[in-house]
Amino acid sequence: MSDFPQEDLAIDATGLVCPLPLLRTKKALQGLESSQVLKVATTDKSAVSDFKAFAKQTGHEILLQVLIDDKTTWHFIKKR
């Protein structure tokens, strides 16, 4: 059993810098239904705060943000 939320869609935004991870996230969320979960992998250090601000502005819910290795963070976002 995983300690991570079950995602409905996963996107890889590693290697991309602001604002590209957020733009790809917005586009991916458009294709999801309400309450579905998107997992985004990022390496941009500003992504953690960017995703928190994005969720606050849009009403989506950050379920978890976790550093997987020394560079990669996984963000689990539940669509409103």
Q: Is 76 a catalytic residue?
A: no
Active-site annotation holder among 16, 18, 20, 32: 18
Q: Tokens standing for 28? A: 């991916």
* DSSP string for 31-60: TSPTT-EEEEEE--TTHHHHHHHHHHHH--
Q: How far apart are CA 80 and CA 78, in angstroms?
A: 6
Catalytic positions, please?
Answer: 18
